[in-house]
């Protein structure tokens, strides 16, 4: 078995430090990408909300709400 020396310990600590730096960098990149993804999802939700509002206004104008109610079936005249 190899003898544990100060030089060996120093080299191991340098390697660990380097690997930790890489992990830290990767984590920072992941956080940036996650933030971008969250912002994109918020944008999509806003667009969907606007489309829902617009669809509701169109339905009210066309009086389609009455047709969607389950209490009476629609019968054309």
| 36 within 8 A of 43, measured Cβ to Cβ | no
Domain ranges for the chain, please list them. Answer: 38-62
11: exposed, middle or buried (Cβ count in 10 Å: 0-12, 13-18, 19+): exposed
Gap between the Cα atoms of 57 and 51, Å rounded: 10
Gap between the Cα atoms of 57 and 47, Å rounded: 15
Q: pLDDT confidence of 7, banded at 50, 70, 90?
A: very high
Question: Does the reported pTM lie above 0.75?
Answer: no
pLDDT digits (tens, 9 = 90+) for 47-63: 999 999 999 898 888 87
């Amino acid at each position: 078995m190899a003898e544990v020396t100060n030089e060996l310990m120093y080299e191991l600590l340098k390697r660990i430090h380097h690997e930790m730096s890489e992990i830290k960098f990767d984590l920072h990149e992941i956080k940036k990408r996650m933030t971008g993804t969250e912002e994109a999802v918020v944008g999509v939700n806003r667009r969907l909300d606007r489309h829902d509002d617009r669809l509701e206004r169109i339905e009210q104008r066309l009086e389609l709400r009455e047709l969607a109610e389950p209490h009476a079936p629609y019968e054309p005249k």
